[in-house]
Every structure is written in structure tokens, then in C-alpha cells.
Amino acid sequence: SLEIIALILTLIHFGIPLAYYVYLKKKWLPKPWNLKINPKYTPRITVIVPTYNEAKLIIEKLNNIYMQDYPKDKLEVLVVDSASTDGTPRLVEDWARKHTNFRVMLVKEPSRRGMAHALWTGFKHAKGDIIIVTDADAIWTKHDILREIVKWLSCEDVGAISCIKEPLGGESLEYKYRQYYNILRIAESKAWSTPIFHGELSAFKKKLLKRIGGFPLGVGSAESLAAMKIAALGYRAIISDNVVVQEIIPRREYTKWRIRRAQHLIIHLIKTLSYIRNYNNMLKVIVLVEAYLHIINPWILLLCTIVLLYCTLILHSILAGSLIILGLALLAQRAYHAWIISQLFLLLAQIKNLWNKE
């Protein structure tokens, strides 16, 4: 009957992500990294900071990079500003004048063409062997994060590395949601590679970025797609639990922000599917599961809700009605609440992608 169908849909919707999580935590997370690190590797690094109206944060951001424990003569910062109207470029120039022992360059784009375009421009100017991209609103809490990144990139197999994120301020919802995904990202990285990178800190070998033609244009998460293009060349794209970044969660327009990010993520996963034939079996599975979780699984929840509502309201099913009440009562449980909300964001994002890809 319809009730059985609803039950099966519920099991699929909650069972698959839960099974994936439990399996990865048990089987992949404890795995050794199996990487050969060269502790002497000290490459030149270019840090690209794309900015659009970041006057409130840019000084703290530059100070944060300046505080890093890494040879100053091997480090350069490229701020790529896209016609900010709040005086961001002037602040950067003033800061650079006060720190003459540190190479900070300002690249000005004549008009706003999006973050991906700014990264693409930054790449053309970058002189480092390693290119790191980082958002103005991300804080590197530890001062040895560059050394940590260089350590991983000293391995021949590793082409790119990103961070795990700790939310700072804003919705408590964000914490629950992060914990689950951080475990997945690290476990996938240990198995081989993870398909989802973060703009708060993503590092790439320049020679590999060159091979993929620089940062991809016309996408919302250029860092993730660059990583997956590099993975298609046979290199690993990983996230390590030793690379942690704090991200300031916007208090205003939180919902809009989450939906926009979900939109970018979905487009990224769809593009990544087109490279799947180049991946090894492990990464094929990872990409397929992630695409399923972000694109298909939310619809199963919606379908299941519709079937249950139909059973309750039209067929007067007591079982279906009880399940709906249970589903609502569980919203008091925070992890479940966070999950349901993120499914809603993913659904809205897919619908919005139909007419506005932003």
C-alpha cells in the first residue's frame, strides 16, 4: 500500500546518508594517509584574496596572513579587487605601505565579474609554486597553517588541499550541519579525494593549475571545480583535519546565503560528474554518492512527505498521520532539525538554479 511506499522512502532518505556516514567513520576515517612527506619543502606561495566591498574585514585578513609562520621572502599576497565601492583598495595600499618587508600586491579589475573571474585574474599574476585562495571573511586560527599545507603538498600524489571549517557566530544550526560534513570530507580524503573544497582556504600546485587552464570561469565554486579537474589528472584533492579555518557566518540574510551556496554546490557536482570517467573507482563512488546526497535525496524527502500527507488527509490513515506527527516532533532534536532545513535549502537551490544561477 501507499503507507509501505512512504516508509520505504523514509528509510532511503535517512538510511543512505546515515549508512554512508557510519561506514566512512568506521572504515575510512581511521585509515593512515599513506603519503610520503618531504619536511624540507619550502616552495614560494602566492595567496590570492578576492575582494568585493570588504573594507570591514580586509585589514584583519592581511594581518592574519602576515602573522603566519612562513619565510616572508617566499610569500606574496595578491588582493584582486573588483571595483569595490567602499574603499577596500585604498585600505590595501595603505596596509602595504606600512609593511614594506612583506610583498602585497593589489590587482584591480575594472568591473565586478564574480569571484571565479577574480581568481582567474589572480592566477595570471601569481609567481608562487603554490597558489592559495582564501576569502576575506575567513580566519586562519593557527599560525602554522601554511607550513601544514606545504607539508601535504610536498607529496607527489597530492595536487590540491583544502580546510575543514569551524563556523564563527551566527546560527547554531550551522554547527550541527558542519560536524557531519567535516567527518565525511576527511574520510573521503583518506580513501582518495573529496569533491567539495572550501573558498576559505584551498591550495593548489601551480603547475597543475596551469595544466587545467587556470581557475574555471562561470561557476560559483571555482576552487572546488579546479580541485576536481586536478583530480581528473590523477592527483589527490584532499582535506586534512589539521587544516582548520574559522568562517564568519553572516547574521543577516542567512537563508539567502545558504541557498546561494547550495546552488553553487549543486552546479559544481553536476560539472564534476562529467569528469567521472577519469577518476579511479574509489573517487567514482565518492562523487556518485555526494551527487546523490545533494541532488536526488532531498526530493525523496519531499516525495515521502507528499505521500504521507495524502494518506493522512485523503485516506485518513492513522499510521501516516502518526508518522507526520513524529516527523514534526523530532524537529525539537537539533541534528534532525539541521538536516531537514538543509534538505529544504537544497530543494530551493535546485529550483532556483532553473532560472537564476548567480
State the residues that interact with Mn ion by CB under 5 A: 135, 137
- Specify whether the CB–CB gap between 90 and 99 falls below 8 A: no
Q: How far is the CB of 81 from Mn ion (least distance, A)?
A: 16
With CB under 5 to 8 Å by kind, the binding choice for 308 among Mn ion, ligand GDD, none is: none
Dihedral (CA of 310, 314, 316, 317) sign: negative
Q: How far is the CB of 85 from Mn ion (least distance, A)?
A: 19
Residue of 82, 193, 263, 343 that binds ligand GDD (CB under 6 A): 82
* Residue with smaller CB distance to ligand GDD, 100 or 111: 111
- Specify whether the CB–CB gap between 68 and 100 falls below 8 A: no
By CB under 6 A, tell whether 80 contacts ligand GDD.
Answer: yes
Interacting residues with ligand GDD between 86 and 115 (CB under 6 A): 112, 114-115
Interacting residues with ligand GDD between 271 and 310 (CB under 6 A): none
Angle of the 297-313 helix axis to the 334-353 helix axis, nearest 10: 110
CA dihedral 268→274→275→281, nearest 10 degrees, is 100
Q: Give Cα separations from 141 to 65, 67, 189, 287, 329 (angstroms).
A: 10, 10, 22, 30, 38
Q: How far is the CB of 7 from ligand GDD (least distance, A)?
A: 35
Interacting residues with ligand GDD between 26 and 65 (CB under 6 A): 50-52, 54
- Specify whether the CB–CB gap between 82 and 50 falls below 8 A: yes
Question: Which residue matches cell numbers 532511503?
Answer: 12
Q: How far is the CB of 79 from Mn ion (least distance, A)?
A: 16
With CB under 5 to 8 Å by kind, the binding choice for 112 among Mn ion, ligand GDD, none is: ligand GDD
Residue of 89, 199, 216, 298 that binds ligand GDD (CB under 6 A): 199
* Residue with smaller CB distance to Mn ion, 76 or 137: 137
With CB under 5 to 8 Å by kind, the binding choice for 80 among ligand GDD, Mn ion, none is: ligand GDD
**E strands of the chain, at which residues?**
45-51, 75-82, 103-109, 130-133, 138-140, 158-168, 202-205, 236-248
* Residue with smaller CB distance to ligand GDD, 211 or 261: 261
Cell for 252? 543577516
Nearest residue to Mn ion, scored by beta-carbon proximity: 137
Residue of 198, 206, 236, 258 that binds ligand GDD (CB under 6 A): 198
* Residue with smaller CB distance to ligand GDD, 206 or 268: 268
Nearest residue to ligand GDD, scored by beta-carbon proximity: 199
Compute the residue count for the chain: 358
d(CA 330, CA 176): 15
d(CA 110, CA 191): 43
Q: Which residues contact 40 (CB under 8 A, 6 or more apart)?
A: none
d(CA 243, CA 161): 9
Q: How far is the CB of 250 from Mn ion (least distance, A)?
A: 7
- Specify whether the CB–CB gap between 58 and 51 falls below 8 A: yes
Residue of 126, 136, 163, 324 that binds ligand GDD (CB under 6 A): 136
Counting residues that bind ligand GDD (by CB under 6 A) gives 22
Residue of 221, 240, 263, 297 that binds ligand GDD (CB under 6 A): 221
* Residue with smaller CB distance to Mn ion, 221 or 272: 221
With CB under 5 to 8 Å by kind, the binding choice for 51 among Mn ion, ligand GDD, none is: ligand GDD
d(CA 351, CA 224): 22
CA dihedral 231→181→173→353, nearest 10 degrees, is 40
Q: Which stretch binds ligand GDD (CB under 6 A): 131-139, 141-149, 171-179, 292-300?
A: 131-139
What is the DSSP secondary structure assignment for residue 295, as one 8-state letter? I
For ligand GDD, the binding residues (CB under 6 A) are 50-52, 54, 80-82, 112, 114-115, 118, 135-137, 198-200, 221, 223, 257, 261, 264
